[in-house]
Amino acid sequence: MSLTSNDLTELMELWEELNLTAADHHNLSHVETVLCSGAISHGAFLHVLSVLYVFIFLVGVAANAPVVWLNLRSDRNRQETHLYILNLAVADLCVVATLPVWVASLLQGGQWPFGEAVCKLSHLVFSVNLFSSIFFLSCMSVDRYLSIRLLADAPISRRKKLLRRLVCVLVWLLALAASAPDTYFLQAVKSLHHEGAVCRPVYPPGNPRDWMVGVQLSFIILGFAVPFPVIAVFYLLLAGAVPPSSDRERCVILAYIVVFLVCWLPLHAVLVLDTLSLLHVLPFSCQLENFLDVALHLTQCLSLVHCCVNPVLYNVLNRNYNYDLMKAFIFRYSTRTGLARLVHASESEYSAGTMDNMPM
């Protein structure tokens, strides 16, 4: 499950339903529904979140759109991970492109005015691309290590290109499969606390708690527990393969690991706490409810910052990308000044000096 901001707004409503429909015979003789008053103004908090999401949307579009455009128009054969970078930018761009829909819902107090079809479609786009972004980061870490450590002298063959294309197709299919269960249960249903509908999962009435725990655990496993060790291990191996004099490259490699950890660990830590509360490992209380309500919103927002940071880490810090960007936006339309001829004359020399033999 990839939680959206509207899902989080209605999380406590689902918690109340679970309290009414399921009992833990080990700890409870009966279940009481407790309606807690929020520690902060709910309306003000949603407006602050809306501002943050708008900021992420603007930065994410501004950062990822040029990456997509340049990779589609430029000859980037010298960069072996070009295909992964393109798909990563497309995934991040699609994630942030869905944010205006969720902002519109937040500004209406969490109500969903767009109907069930848009509820399912927007969540599916968000979830598929969020999973794809994480999976492509994992693929890039493996590919870069293998390319530098094991296949450094091997030419870029047609077979290797076809293999990378096959991996990209499999990543998108896996992301779709990971997103399908939660999207299937999404409905636009009447809110328990106010007029209007909300967009959230409605699990089978017999065992909604088990479904929610299962979906959340699948998101934790596929979104962090598996990808992060892969990213960390292969980038640490790659950092160890970097020559001792290449401190800048080593710092960039370590930044890949640290940024992923900072952006995603808080959300998954809170999801683990939420899962433990659903399983009654943590006793339910108003303090826990208020904490989860705020923490899930904030950590979800923090995780989406990764869509804005990815273009910087994997493109802006790459000299080839900066060169292509400069050529496209400054020199391409400067034939009258002679700068275009200067770029053309120096292009082969520059490319030779910036071969993508380092993980930038």
The domain limits of the chain are 42-324
Q: Supply the pLDDT for residue 308.
A: 95
* pLDDT string in tens for the chain (360-residue length): 445 444 544 444 554 444 434 334 343 333 333 456 555 667 888 899 999 999 999 999 999 998 898 888 766 555 557 889 999 999 999 999 999 999 999 998 888 999 999 999 999 999 999 999 999 999 999 998 988 876 655 556 778 888 889 999 999 999 999 999 889 999 999 877 677 888 989 998 888 889 999 999 999 999 999 999 999 999 999 998 888 777 888 898 999 999 999 999 999 999 999 999 989 898 878 888 889 989 999 999 999 999 999 998 887 666 665 555 555 555 555 554 555 554 454 444 444 444 344 444
Determine the Cα angle at 65 with ends 97 and 352, to 5°: 150
At 330, phi and psi to the nearest 5? Answer: -115, -50
Q: Supply the pLDDT for residue 28.
A: 34
Rounded CA separation 94/308 (Å): 12
Rounded CA separation 351/98 (Å): 37
**Nearest to residue 224, comparing CAs of 169, 277, 186, 268?**
268
Cβ burial, residue 352 (10 Å; 0-12/13-18/19+): exposed
Token pair, residue 53, equals: 């999401």
Q: Supply the pLDDT for residue 14.
A: 52
Rounded CA separation 7/28 (Å): 27
What is the third-level CATH fold of 42-324? Answer: Rhopdopsin 7-helix transmembrane proteins (1.20.1070)
Contact 91, 314 (CB under 8 A): no
Q: Supply the pLDDT for residue 286.
A: 83
Contact 6, 106 (CB under 8 A): yes
Q: Supply the pLDDT for residue 329.
A: 57
Q: Supply the pLDDT for residue 316.
A: 64
Cross-strand bridge partners of residue 197? 190
Q: Supply the pLDDT for residue 325.
A: 58
* pTM > 0.85: no
Determine the Cα angle at 281 with ends 277 and 285, to 5°: 50
Q: Supply the pLDDT for residue 27.
A: 38
Token pair, residue 348, equals: 């082969």
Token pair, residue 313, equals: 């880490």
Residue 7 φ/ψ region, left for φ over 0, alpha for ψ in the -120 to 50 degree band, beta for the rest: alpha
